[in-house]
Amino acid sequence: MAASLQPRIQPRPPAALNSDQRALYDAIVGGPRAQGPQHFALTAEDGSLRGPFDALLLSPAVGAALQHLGAAIRYRTHLTDRAREIAILLVAARWHSVFEREAHEAIGRAVGLTEAELSAIRTEDLSSFEGDEAVVGHTVVALLDGDLDDVRWAEASSTLGDAVVFELTSLVGYYSTLALQLRVFRVGG
C-alpha cells in the first residue's frame, strides 16, 4: 500500500495556539532563526510555522527541547558555517528530506557552497571537498551508516577534535529526527 502524501496535521496560526504552544511559537519566531538574513520563510502567510517547526507545537515540552537543541547546533558549535551546512545537507540527502534540503541549500549558498558542491552533496559525493570539510562529510556519512569505525574515529578525533565529533553526532541525530517527523506527519513546505 502506497503512503499518502497528504499532510497529517494542519498548520496552526498563532490565534489557534494554547498558552504553552504560544510560548514555544514565540521562542521560535523570536529566536536566532528569525534574526539576521532569512534564507527561507519560517512562517506561512497566516503566521503558522513552516516545516518541522509546526509539528514541535504538538508537544510543547518536547518541542521546546528540540528547538533549543536545534538552535545550539545551528548557532553555537565549533563547526564552520560551510561544514555545518555540508553536514545538515548530507542528513537531508540520506533521508530524502525535501524541506530540510531546500531550506539548507539556501543557507548553504549564502555561506559559499557552490551549485556543484550542493549537487554533489545530494548524492553523498564528497570528492570535491578537502581538509576539515571532507572529514566532516565522511564522519557524517559514517554516522548515518550507524557508527564510526576505528579508522574513521581516529581521523575525526585527531582532525576535528572530540568536541566536534560530539557536535556532529548531535547534529546527525537532530536532523534525522526532524526528517522522520517531516515524513511521518507528511509536512511539506
pTM of the model: 0.92
How far lies 53's CA from each of 56, 61, 64, 136, 179, in Å? Answer: 5, 13, 10, 26, 12
Using the predicted structure, report yes or no on whether residue 45 has a pLDDT greater than 70: yes
Note the pLDDT of residue 1. 47
User: How far is 148 from 124, CA to CA, in rounded Å?
Assistant: 17
Residue with cell 540527502: 93
Using the predicted structure, report yes or no on whether residue 61 has a pLDDT greater than 60: yes
Lowest mean pLDDT among 5-14, 58-67, 90-99, 158-167: 5-14
Q: Kindly state the average pLDDT of the residues 133-143.
A: 98
| 29 vs 164 pLDDT, higher one | 164
Yes or no: say if 59 and 18 are a contact pair by the CB < 8 Å rule.
no
Q: Sorting pLDDT into bands at 50, 70 and 90, what band is 51?
A: confident
Yes or no: say if 79 and 47 are a contact pair by the CB < 8 Å rule.
no
From the number of C-beta atoms within 10 Å of its C-beta (0-12, 13-18, 19+), residue 114 rates as: exposed
pLDDT per residue over 161-188, tens digit each? 999 999 999 999 999 999 999 999 888 7
Query: Beta partners for 43?
Result: 49
The four Cα atoms 3, 59, 107, 32 give a dihedral, to 10 degrees, of 170
Lowest mean pLDDT among 35-44, 53-62, 89-98: 35-44
What does the domain layout of the chain look like in residue ranges?
17-75, 81-184
Residue with cell 571537498: 129
Helix (H, G, I), strand (E, B) or coil at 17: coil
Note the pLDDT of residue 62. 97
Could you write out the three-class secondary structure of 48-106? CECCHHHHHCCCHHHHHHHHHHHHHHHHCCCCCHHHHHHHHHHHHHHCCCHHHHHHHHH
Q: Which helix (H) or strand (E) holds 132?
A: helix 131-145
Q: Sorting pLDDT into bands at 50, 70 and 90, what band is 3?
A: low
